[in-house]
Amino acid sequence: MAKIMIQGTGSSVGKSILVTALCRIFKQDGYSVCPFKSQNMSLNSYITLDGKEMGRAQVLQAYASGLQPEAYMNPILLKPTSDKKCQIIVNGKVYGNSTAMEYHNMKLEFRDMLKEQFEKMEKEFDIIVMEGAGSPAEINLRDRDIVNMGMAELVDAPVLLAGDIDKGGVFASLAGTMVLFTEDEGKRVKGTIINKFRGDVEILKPGLTMLEDIIKVPCLGVVPYFNLALEDEDGAVQFNTKVTAPIDIAVIKLPHISNFTDLDALKSEADVSVRFINSLEEFGHPDLLIIPGSKNTIEDLLKLRECGLERAIKEYSKTGLVMGICGGYQILGKLIKDPYGVETEVKEVEAMGLLDIETIFEEEKVTTRVNAESIEDFNVYNEDNSMENIKLKTYGYEIHMGICTYGKNAKPLFRILDKNGEKVEILDGAINTDRNIMGTYIHGIFDGVDFREYMLNRIRVKKGMKTKKSGTYESLRELELDKLADIVRANIDMNKIYEIMNIKK
């Protein structure tokens, strides 16, 4: 079994996407490969087929490897609830809530578990591609590190160090990181990768030679800046604020926004622009307004109220199209209660009142994969603009601690037909009488073709545009993963990477 680890000079330098690329390259070359990130901090999470929670970055890496995502690929997931607190997910299940210092003090408790998990993976796969987190040169965290050099040392993995030239100062950040390593840590670094390069690489080459002379580590490649329809690296998403296509979808950028990967399928549509707003000045005149998920729904609702966006949303909802997902769905309701202090010390708050539902936060989290269909028939436009009335099928996953109850004027939106493979009949979501305000607990709601196509064609017809068929998001993702592999393969020394892993090509 071979292994390689990508660490970076800091956050958002492209570690996740490089791991994704290597996973796809190794798969293309005929190896069984698996991603691994021991600890991930992210509000973008995913539910596996067996109902476990993991970080979204490792989900994309699993698909690149030709695998179904499994929680062992990301054994520890930290989900921030405030600047100093987070929820800890271990092996897919809630472990507890803690402050940053409390978690820092408990990290070493997980070392044996991480090593055991990794050793099981070693027996299953030809290659494991590991990912670090943030910077490995946080010298104040070295003694309790379980995600960067601490993890590399635990399983004796060689390391490639990635730097982001688009930020500026890439030579200084690579050299500075190497200076802060201990002697043993420095020996573990077998190569560097310059990421997100724009321009003529010939101009860069003298700098690469000088850098190699300084740090005594070869540069294995320079990866160009590119745009592909793939999920952004955790914490690295660029929240677009401009209208760039005929269909204008505005997303409220909540302070504790989570699972904004729910919007990626919309971004894949050529005539769709997805922009994020957090002020009245940015609101504009969107064709669809989305209130996304949140890790602190009550606090985010109060922020919307404070800055005036709640008033703007209510006014827009009189004629516009509004969609709430998970926390956004709860915000659209009448009342939110938190009797156990799950999210905040505020026990009860009046919500926007646009849907006749009430939410109460329970102590146990719902984490399920679901398939569902709309309860009512919807007018679906064909390519010739003719219509037929059908039930909309969809799928996705639930991650929430809130349970909704329906008022007398509430109309459920979906009927969940199975949860984690078990047949059920459970109501989900709500829709108003005019069918312009709706909400759901189902994350990934736009990944399914039926619902995405219905929503977008509804907008296209209103704007006088030609209706379109939507493609499956999964097929688009596969094409983009292959493009990613082609770009990275063409610009880094794969022979050297195989040599570092002691694999003879």
Name the residues annotated as catalytic: 326, 443
Which 8-state DSSP code applies to residue 492?
B
Q: What is the 3-state secondary structure (H, E, C) of 224-277?
A: ECCCCCCCCCCCCCCCCCCCCCCEEEEEECCCCEECHHHHHHHHCCCCEEEEEE
State the chain's maximal CA–CA distance in angstroms.
73
Lookup: tokens for 383: 């390519």
Which residues share a beta bridge with 406? 357
Q: CA dist 181 to 47, 99, 189, Å?
A: 36, 27, 10
Taking a C-beta distance cutoff of 8 angstroms, is the pair 68, 49 a contact?
yes
Residue matched to tokens 């493009």: 483
Q: Are strands 348-350 and 53-55 parallel, antiparallel or unpaired?
A: unpaired
User: 341: how many CB neighbours lie within 10 A of its CB?
Assistant: 12
**In a 3-state reduction of DSSP, which class is residue 431?**
strand
Cβ atoms < 10 Å from Cβ of 150: 22
DSSP annotation of 142: G
Q: Which of 239, 192, 197, 201 is nearest to 220 (CA)?
A: 192
Compute the distance between CA of residue 323 and CA of residue 330 in angstroms, rounded to an integer: 11
What would the two tokens of residue 125 be?
């796969």
Alpha helices in 275-326 (DSSP H): 297-307, 309-316
Q: Per DSSP, which regions of 61-200 are E strands?
A: 76-80, 85-90, 93-99, 127-131, 159-164, 189-197
